[in-house]
Structure 1
Amino acid sequence: MAGNPRNGRPYRRLTTYQRGLRLPCWLCGGEIAYWITGPEAGRHPEAFTLDHAVPLSLGGDLLDPANARSAHRRCNSARGNRTDHQGQRIRASRRW
């Protein structure tokens, strides 16, 4: 039996790559607190999380870079497995 794929090297590599892009949250357009790392990032609502445009529960690919998005932890959690932005306040990013 294989371990959790989110603990594997390919997933960590994708997460590191996405974090390095320093993009705003794709759901609300707000700046993400990329400086928050380590154990505290797991609880902080402004911290970076890797979100998937097509949720894994709906057939999205865990390791596909085209499916990876940068999101705040709070926005990612609030969206759940919906494919639209229902319940989210969408703002355009100020980043050009």
Structure 2
Amino acid sequence: MAGNPRNGRPYRRLCAWLRAQRLPCWLCGHEIGYELDARHPLSFTLDHEVPVSKRPDLLLDPANARPAHRRCNSRKGDRTPTAQPVRASRRW
């Protein structure tokens, strides 16, 4: 495959499909500003649950695509998010 596969029609179609669902950010749970400029930190980006750097074959897999804020996606990087431990309330 020549060029960047993220610039191709199948990838743009996957982004459009995910954007149309208007789901909240899968990393922080807050609403995404779908109408914001793409450079805004709270705008929509397509994130991959299993990073493409580890599994390039999952680039176009809809089951691996998740909506995320640009800021959350950048913070996650190419790591697989781990479950956050639930903090117990203080015992009195």
Q: Determine the structure 2 residue equivalent to 1:13.
A: 13
Which of these two proteins has the greater Rg computed from alpha carbons? 2
Q: Which runs of 5+ in 2 are unaligned?
A: 85-92
What TM-score results when the alignment is normalised by the length of structure 1? 0.80
- 1:75 and 2:72 are equivalent in the alignment: yes
| Residue 25 (structure 2) pairs with residue 25 (structure 1) | yes
The 1-side partners of 2:72 and 2:48 are apart by 12
Find the aligned partners of 2:29 and 2:81 in 1 and give their Cα distance: 15
CA–CA distance in 2 between the matches of 1:57 and 1:31?
Answer: 27
CA distance in 1, matches of 2:69, 2:80: 17
Which string of whole-angstrom CA distances, capped at 9 and with x for unpartnered residues, describes residues 44-80 of structure 1? Answer: 1000000000000111511000000000000000000
What TM-score, normalized to structure 2? 0.84
| Identical columns (%) | 69
User: CA deviation digits over 1:24-63, x for unaligned, max 9?
Assistant: 0000000000012xxx31x210000000000001115110
The runs of at least 4 aligned residues of structure 1 exceeding 6 Å deviation read: none
Unpaired runs of at least 5, structure 1: 89-96
Q: Which amino acid aligns with 1:23?
A: L
Residue of structure 2 aligned with 1:46, choices 22, 42, 46: 42
